[in-house]
Amino acid sequence: MFNFIKEAMSPTTRSKSSQKSELTETTTTTKQKDDNNEQEEHCVKESSCSIQPTMVALKPIKGYKITDNERSRKFGVGANSLEMLKTKAKLKFPIKDLHIYLASDGYEVTDEDYFSTLESQTLFIVAGPDAIITTDSDFEFEQLRQRSPLLKVADIIYDFMEQQPEKFSKLIAEYERKKLPQQKYDQNKTVMSIKTEHPEWFLGQEEKCHTKEEALQRRAQDRVRCYYYKTKDELTRNRLYQQNQKARQIIDSVLEKFRYLLIGCDYFSMIFNRKCEHKHEIIKQKLDEEKDDETDARAVIPNKKLKQVIKEYTARHEILDQWSVSLCTDLGDFYCQGSYSDASNNCSLQHTINPYASRENLILFQVWNLDHQIELSRTILPALIENVRQLISTPKPQCSIHKTPAIDVSVLEYFLEIFSLKNLKLVHIVCHEKSQRQNKSNGRLLCKQCHEYKIVEELMQVDYDYNPDEW
């Protein structure tokens, strides 16, 4: 191929007799020179035209991976364009109206220029146009839930709770009445933290967890992630999201901002971590009454650069400080905060539990709920969707505070209501009231002057314009 190009670009080679004749000639007419020049120019033009399609064909082919939404099969394919990738994907997955999505975040890839910027071995999901994409993180969490014995037990318990709530509450109350008052914690085992010190406590836990604190942090993160997946599922299944492109863009943006804020607070991993220095008010009250033994702090595995930058940003602006607190004492005691209708954080039945003490307590801790005082599905998400509807359908939507044009919904307020202890109470199952509540969401429409809008917008830019010297 390179020889062909070289030959095409070089002037035509003349014969030896022509060269000998040329040497014997002393002069060459101007007309002959012009003719030769025209011939050479014409030859170069022809060779350039013949090379052009050859150069297009030389566009490099990259290797990619494709799978379906269920991850049932995965294939490696080579392509140098989005169209070629779609063509090959249709041979592997015969979907009538096939679309290409990024497995990392679920966004659809429709632009050739954007496609060309993606790295080799990028994983794509092929699905229909209206599919709810299961991202890599969603899929991994579901796999974890299926593999974890304790999470399976939790699913069984929750099913029983939903089907027979009164019977379940009576069973738990009877169990605690008979057993828990007689139970005394083994203080030596309770303060132990490392797996080798208390191995039976770690039965059924992930191998990655080497301390009790890590295991309980993961429990907290899993619960908060469940709220994120539930929120994402309900918002993306809503008719407004599926039928209106502008609403879809706004909701996708809200979900992305939720994800950044969750990274900033490490998915509120500290709420079950007894070694978190910052304690909830209910714990401070208990500590005033009695003093608990303290345990040594352990090192935390450092986060990746972007996560660390986001965390530093949220800490700098104290966005989530008030709610980034632990719900247990240094020993690991948790106290029920009472039903949602109780304005104070005290439980009249004085429910308490220490999941750090034994594996039995750890399993029983699964039925302690993080209860939304303002309900998630009945109140918060419908209010969010209604605000999105107003934003796209009202001719001139206004911020209720500054009376200026509204451009977004109050992402931070909705975030705190869905994920944080501002709206969540840790309650024993007996104190978890299932009745419908009258509490209303505080979410609203925002303008550019709103402090909340400025903070969240700056947060979304930290990975692009972060400068350590400015901190």
- Band (pLDDT 50/70/90 cuts) for residue 319 is confident
| Among candidate residues 42, 51, 84, 40, the one with its CA nearest the CA of residue 66 | 84
In the structure, what pLDDT confidence band is assigned to residue 408 with cuts at 50, 70 and 90?
Answer: very high
The token pair that represents 308 in the structure block = 């660390």
Residue 311 in contact with residue 264, Cβ under 8 Å? yes
pLDDT band of 55, cuts 50, 70, 90: very low
Pick from 37-51, 193-207, 251-265, 333-347 the range whose average pLDDT is largest.
251-265
Secondary structure element (H or E) that encloses residue 424, with its range: strand 424-427
Q: Three-class SS of residue 99?
A: strand
**Choice between 405 and 45, residue whose per-residue pLDDT is larger:** 405
pLDDT at 17 over 60: no
d(CA 208, CA 199): 14
* pLDDT of 412: 92
* Residue 413 in this model has a pLDDT that exceeds 70: yes
What is the chain's alpha carbon radius of gyration, rounded to the nearest angstrom? 32
* pLDDT value, residue 463: 56
Q: What phi-psi label fits residue 120: left (phi over 0), alpha (psi between -120 and 50 degrees) or beta?
A: beta
Lowest mean pLDDT among 184-188, 281-285, 324-328, 464-468: 464-468
At residue 174 the predicted structure's pLDDT band, cuts being 50, 70 and 90, is: low
Pinpoint the alpha helices (H) of 10-164: 16-24, 30-57, 82-92, 112-117, 136-147, 149-163
- Res 461: pLDDT: 78
Report whether pLDDT(419) > 90: yes
Residue 437 vs residue 304, higher pLDDT = 437
Name the band, by pLDDT with cuts 50, 70 and 90, for residue 15.
Answer: very low
Name which of 91-95, 127-131, 177-181, 447-451 the model is least confident about. 177-181
Using the Cα atoms of residue 351, residue 355, residue 359 and residue 362 in order, give the sign of their dihedral.
positive
Dist. CA 427–CA 337, nearest whole Å = 6
Q: Give burial (CB, 10 Å; 0-12/13-18/19+) of 262.
A: buried
Question: 76-92 burial string, b = 16+ CB within 10 Å, else e?
Answer: ebebbebeebbeebeee
In this structure, which long-range contacts are made by residues 346-349, counting pairs with CB atoms below 8 Å and at least 24 apart in sequence? 346/282, 347/427, 347/428, 347/431, 349/428, 349/430, 349/431
Beta-bridged to residue 126, according to DSSP, are 68, 100
Question: ∠397-400-404 over CA atoms, to 5°?
Answer: 55
Average pLDDT of the residues in 284-299: 48
Of 164-178, 216-230, 288-302, 323-337, which range is least confident? Answer: 288-302
Model confidence at 198: pLDDT above 50: yes
More confident residue, 366 or 127: 127
According to the model, what pLDDT value does residue 349 have? Answer: 78
pLDDT-based confidence at 157, cuts 50/70/90?
low
Range in 64-78, 292-306, 380-394 with the lowest mean pLDDT: 292-306
- The yes-or-no verdict on residue 22 having pLDDT over 50 is no
Residue 305 confidence (pLDDT): 62
The answer, yes or no, to whether residue 381 has pLDDT greater than 80, is yes
CA angle 51, 52, 57 (to 5 degrees): 95
What is the model's pLDDT at position 91? 92
Q: Is the pTM of this model over 0.75?
A: no
pLDDT value of position 270: 93
The pLDDT value given to residue 155: 64
Please tell me the distance from the alpha carbon of residue 231 to that of residue 225, in angstroms, as a whole number: 10
- What pLDDT does residue 397 have? 92
Q: Residue 439's pLDDT band (boundaries 50, 70, 90)?
A: confident
Return all residues near 160 (Cβ < 8 A) that are at least 6 apart.
Answer: 168
Average pLDDT, the chain: 77
The predicted structure's pLDDT at residue 178: 58
Mean pLDDT within 176-199: 73
Binned at pLDDT 50, 70 and 90, residue 173 comes out as low
By mean pLDDT, which of 8-12, 234-238, 377-381 is the weakest?
8-12
How do 74-79 and 99-102 pair as beta strands?
Answer: unpaired
More confident residue, 42 or 356: 356
For residue 336, how many other CB atoms are within 10 A of its CB?
25
- Give the confidence band of 179 by pLDDT, cuts at 50, 70, 90: low
Please state, in angstroms and rounded to a whole number, the distance separating the CA atoms of residues 192 and 198: 7
Write down the pLDDT at residue 467: 43
Q: Which of 262, 263, 267, 242 is nearest to 252 (CA)?
A: 242
Q: How far apart are CA 276 and CA 273, in angstroms?
A: 6
pLDDT score recorded for residue 162: 63
